[in-house]
């Protein structure tokens, strides 16, 4: 059975809840998953957001090279193009923030 309902913990988006009756699947993952905007997320998992401090960013482009799914170059500085950060890009986004030479990227 698939049921659509609002879920407050995921930016007020419509989500699809799948409840699996297969005992093996439930043993592996609890049988309950939530999917939103094409990115699989489990219940309780926070959606990460990235921010670029425009006053601090020097426009070196390292973040764009490291995580092009989340960052792109604007006129003079980098900007965030994915909010929230896609699940597949979480690690590279954290790496981009850690490697920023002027610490202009915050992730939460």
From CA 63, how far away is CA 40, in angstroms rounded?
24
Tell me: the pLDDT tens digits for 15-40?
444 444 444 444 445 555 544 444 44
User: Which of 6, 38, 35, 37 is CA-nearest to residue 18?
Assistant: 35
Going from the N-terminus, what domains does the chain have, and what CATH number goes with each? Answer: 2-41 (no CATH), 50-107 (3.30.70.20)
Q: Which CA distances in Å does 92 have to 50, 55, 66, 74, 96?
A: 12, 23, 6, 20, 6
pLDDT category of residue 11 using cuts at 50, 70 and 90: very low
pLDDT tens-digit series, residues 58-107:
999 999 999 999 999 999 999 999 999 999 999 999 999 999 999 999 99
**When comparing pLDDT for 1 and 91, which is higher?**
91
At 46 the pLDDT is: 73
Q: 84 to each of 27, 36, 56, 65, 68, how far by Cα in Å? A: 30, 11, 22, 19, 14
Entry pTM: 0.61
Distance CA 39, CA 82 (A): 12
Helix (H, G, I), strand (E, B) or coil at 14: strand
């Amino acid at each position: 059975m698939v049921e659509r309902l609002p879920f407050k913990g995921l930016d007020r988006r419509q989500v699809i809840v799948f409840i699996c009756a297969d005992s093996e699947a439930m043993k592996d993952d609890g049988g309950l998953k939530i999917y939103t905007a094409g990115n699989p997320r489990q219940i309780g998992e926070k959606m990460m957001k990235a921010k670029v401090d425009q006053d601090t960013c020097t426009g070196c482009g390292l973040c764009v090279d490291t995580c092009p799914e989340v960052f792109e170059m604007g006129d003079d500085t980098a900007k965030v193009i994915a909010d929230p950060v896609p699940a597949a890009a979480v690690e590279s986004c954290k790496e981009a923030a850690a490697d920023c030479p002027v610490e202009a990227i915050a992730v939460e």
